[in-house]
Amino acid sequence: MTRREIFPTTHPSLVGRMLDRDTAIRDHAWSEFIRRYEEPLSFCLQARVRGTPLAAEVDDLIWDFLGYLFDGRTTRRADDRGPAAEPHSPLDSWDRDRGSMRAFVQGVLHNFLRSWQRTTRRHVGVDLTDPDAAGAREVDAGVEIDRRWAFRTFTLALQRLGAKHPERANVWLELQGLSWLVVDRATWTVQSYADATADRPIESAPCSADELAQRLGLATGTIHNRKLDANRFLLTYLVAETKRYHAPDQVRTALLDTLRLLIPLVPELGTLVRQIADRGNDSASGSSSTE
């Protein structure tokens, strides 16, 4: 994901699997699609229905829409005992040469809301299909989604580092002044996004390698090595996650965008961003493993 887009990039192969005749393949692909699109769709719908009676029904609307993407049905009623129509996913109509999946999904969302209003005869005092009604709020929502995704990906990387190499993780947190970010070192539970992006504690100032070495009774060189190993681990994880959502030629740009979103939390990442930008795409798309 990048700052410029609300929705993630979707590979055509994922859409192909979503339409596969094999139930297991199809179900797995849909689970992946929902995991990636549920939050962006929620933000877009919230922007459109804010201040209307539908504001409390966003979750239901999202799942109605995802169901619509699956089989083309606008509404789902528990008492609907009529014969089921042959499923026909709107995704069958997507032509990758005519536009991106995110643009297609937003167009389908427009049609769904129009059909939903007509089918349910709900009058909510606003045209849900008017993209201008959402205006800048959807743009703001997109930036917020990107920040949350970057934070979640980063903290997952940190949790994995802590589980595999706690000595590296502890050194890295101390040097970054981020010890407060981890609530429980036994389970590597981290602060929520809201708490982590609020004002950081006064006592959270970074310490120098010399100070930390003296406190832990280690050589300064050992501290530096642990920090470098931790940086390598975290970056490798972030690269692997970025590769999951972007084509190879987009990985470096997407990774840089993700790191820039994290700079307010980890200022030293600014240096890492400059290094990656200087090295070029090969440096940013190295190993896809997480050690």
What band does 14 get if pLDDT is binned at 50, 70 and 90? confident
- Across 72-89, average pLDDT: 50
CA quadruple 116, 25, 99, 240: dihedral sign: positive
- Specify the pLDDT at position 288: 39
The helix (H) or strand (E) run that includes residue 261 is helix 251-262
The helix (H) or strand (E) run that includes residue 182 is strand 182-184
What band does 290 get if pLDDT is binned at 50, 70 and 90? very low
Q: How much of the chain exceeds pLDDT 90, in percent?
A: 20
Inter-CA distances, 235 with 117, 120, 150, 253, Å: 46, 49, 12, 14
Greatest mean pLDDT among 96-100, 175-179, 279-283 lies in: 175-179
- Across 104-109, average pLDDT: 77
- Give the 3-state secondary structure percentages of the chain, helix then strand then coil, rounded to 5: 70, 0, 30
- Specify the pLDDT at position 121: 59
Inter-CA distances, 110 with 98, 115, 263, Å: 17, 9, 35
Task: Name which residue leads in pLDDT, 81 or 221.
Answer: 221
Residues 28 and 30: their CA atoms lie apart, in Å, by: 6
- Specify the pLDDT at position 182: 92
What band does 271 get if pLDDT is binned at 50, 70 and 90? confident
Helix axes 136-164, 251-262, angle to 10 degrees: 90
Q: Is the pLDDT of residue 287 over 60?
A: no
- Specify the pLDDT at position 282: 47
- Across 24-28, average pLDDT: 90
| Count of beta carbons in the 10 Å neighbourhood of residue 24 | 8
- Specify the pLDDT at position 8: 62
Closest alpha carbon to 42 in 61, 28, 16:
61
In this predicted model, what pLDDT tens digit does every residue of 171-216 receive, in sequence order? 999 998 889 999 999 999 998 887 887 766 666 778 899 999 999 9
Q: Is the pLDDT of residue 128 over 60?
A: no
What band does 63 get if pLDDT is binned at 50, 70 and 90? confident
